[in-house]
Chains A and B, each alone.
Chain A
Amino acid sequence: MWAIAVIGVFLLAAIGAPLFVVILAAAMTGFFYADIPLTVITIEIYRLVDTPMLLALPLFTFSGYILSESALSSRLVRLTQVFLGWMPGGLAVVAFVTCAFFTAFTGASGVTIVAVGALLFPALVQAGYPERFSLGLVTTSGSLGLLLAPSLPLILYGVIVQQMDLENPFTLQDLFIAGVLPALLMIVLLTIYSVWTTRSIPLIRRQFTRQEAKQAVWDMKWELPLPVIVLGGIYTGFFAVSEAAAVTTMYVLIVEVGILREIRLAKLSGIIVDAMVMVGGILLILGVSLAFTNYLIDAEIPQQIFDLIRIYISNKFTFLVLLNIALLFLGAILDIFSALVIMVPLIVPIAIGFGIDPVHLGIIFLANMQIGYFTPPIGMNLFIASYRFKRSISELYRSTIPFMLVLLVALIVITYVPEVSLMFLDR
């Protein structure tokens, strides 16, 4: 019977049943055979109410949706173009910086490729960059800001780990600080690669003019304070993360709807519903996995996996290699939020057993997921880019692979040099 139930759960997943249903089925099977009344499932879902900082998720999602509906993308591209476009490889740097910033604020849902990538791709080709290179660059950049505050996956990782009652807890602020250098490392390596591969191609570089710079800054005057409010507020500890989310959302609403009027009031309810459908999907999965994780911990599954792994792997480094491979694979087949919600409660106790800091683990986890977004054959951003730029999927495989290799180098550094993440933290 046991085996049939387990096979049933896997079949459900395979035929594309909603993920929360699959997890519910797994939790029900587990509790049923452990003779625990199924009411526990609702009790666990209701624990969403006790999860700290969760408020940040719907609010930041909402502000992200508004920002991606506004004309911020074009203003942002223009501003970075004026200030960074004159450098060698300037336009590539523009792409990396703009995408990182945009993704951090809007979440890596593929919207960066559609909103920013669609502006940058023609600009890159026009400036003389080869088409395949530009395509790969834009697709790779689509998930680049994942490690920067206030990206939703980073917040979700913090939220999940915080309710696990670790011995060595951390704050969301710690995570936000830890993500900065790894993100910079990725941008720097990608820039070096871009400048090096295009060294023999005559590129058109922009001239820096004061007039243009003034105009670009002036156009962005309402959105420029945003990073200061959010990042300044969070990093100095003036705002809790959920408060920063509320202030950001209010500010963005006032600016985009009230002052710039790029989003009509009539459209706002539609945007809210769209954003909350995404939030609902994620939080429901979070809620049911609270129940499932409770079962797993009750049955001491993480401990058993740990003991099992321990038989074959004794050192941290081998474990990290396997972790990276597993996560890269996972990042390609699961969307990032489900991967976080399902895997983090399992992996965190095991990783801590191997002496890995939970903050460092979070950065490793998300760096893998970021690459998973465009890992062939099924990384989500490959399909979005293929659809948006009307290129065949195999062309996208070929164009992104060099960038993927560069980011794998960054991933290795991030994984094996914990200081890159933890340098500024007192851990």
Chain B
Amino acid sequence: MIGKLRRVLHLVENSLLVTALITMLLIAIMQILLRNFFDGGFLWAESFLRILVLWVAMLGALVATRENNHITIDALTRFLPGRKIVLLVSNLAAGVICGVVAWFAFEFVGYEYEDQTVAFANVPTWLCQSILPVGFTGMSLRFLITSITGLFD
């Protein structure tokens, strides 16, 4: 059951990531064509592209956490004893820190929600920002879960 849920979650993440990137590419190409051949282009497209970069970044980071593929300074860890404890501590710390950021990200999005500002076209700013709390919550949970499961490996 949990295994199935996890596979579905991974599939959703991957699909969102692929969709975001392909959309980004197509809109960027569309803008170039419009600019060169029709002397035009959509105003919303520029903002949308920038938001997409943020989403790709956060989704990519979420998957990086899943695959334990974040950039680290591993110069020292190779020589550290007590591998399990080290992993437990670093994952736990990462989980807590991401959790704190997620907390403040929810607050940040909350303010924006009250202000009801619009990012582009009819899309509200808070919706564009929502990937921040969602992403950091996801990463926090992943780090915490890994810190526990790592003990039993």
Name A's B-contacting residues (CB within 8 A): 12-22, 24-25, 28, 37-39, 41-43, 45-46, 48-50, 54-55, 57-59, 62, 239, 242-243, 245-247, 249-250, 253, 269, 272-273, 276-285, 287, 333-335, 337-338, 378
Contact = CB atoms under 8 A, between A and B. Distances in A.
Contacts of A272: 17-18, 21-22
B127 interface: no
B70 A18 contact: yes
Given A13-B73, A21-B93, A246-B29, A46 B60 contact: no
Contacts of B101: 24, 38, 41-42
B133 to A, nearest CB: 8
B145 interface: no
Interface in B60-113: 60-65, 67, 69-77, 80, 86, 89-90, 93-94, 97-98, 100-101, 104-105, 107-108
Given A38-B100, A280-B61, 4 more contacts: A14-B73, A19-B71, A250-B29, A280-B60
Given A55-B24, A58-B56, A21 B94 contact: yes
Contacts of A49: 50-51, 53-54, 128
Nearest to B128: A49
B57 A284 contact: yes
Pairs of residues from A and B, 3 with the lowest C-beta to C-beta distance, nearest first: A280-B60, A283-B57, A18-B70
Interface residues of B, number: 54
A281 B69 contact: yes
B80 A15 contact: yes
A16 B74 contact: yes
B100 A28 contact: yes
A281 B59 CA distance: 10
A367 to B, nearest CB: 22
Given A19-B70, A19-B73, A287 B29 contact: no
A269 B14 contact: yes
A272 B101 CA distance: 27
Given A59-B28, A246-B25, A378-B75, A281 B61 contact: yes
A42 B71 contact: no
A277 B63 contact: yes
22 contacts: A12-B90, A14-B73, A15-B89, A16-B86, A18-B70, A18-B72, A19-B73, A55-B53, A58-B57, A243-B28, A272-B17, A273-B14, A273-B17, A276-B21, A279-B56, A280-B56, A282-B71, A283-B53, A283-B57, A333-B73, A338-B73, A378-B75
A58 B90 contact: no
Q: From DSSP, what is the main secondary structure of chain B's interface residues?
A: helix
A103 B119 CA distance: 37
Contacts of A43: 108
Interface of B: 14-15, 17-18, 21-22, 24-25, 28-29, 31-32, 49-51, 53-54, 56-65, 67, 69-77, 80, 86, 89-90, 93-94, 97-98, 100-101, 104-105, 107-108, 128-129, 132
Nearest to B21: A272
A144 B65 CA distance: 30
A54 B53 contact: yes
A249 to B, nearest CB: 6
Contacts of B74: 16
B64 A277 contact: yes
A276 B50 contact: no
A57 B53 CA distance: 9
B104 A250 contact: no
A16 B90 contact: yes
A51 to B, nearest CB: 8
A48 B14 CA distance: 22
Nearest to A286: B57
A18 B71 contact: yes
Nearest to A47: B54
A269 B53 contact: no
A276 B32 CA distance: 23
A333 B18 CA distance: 32
Contacts of A54: 50, 53
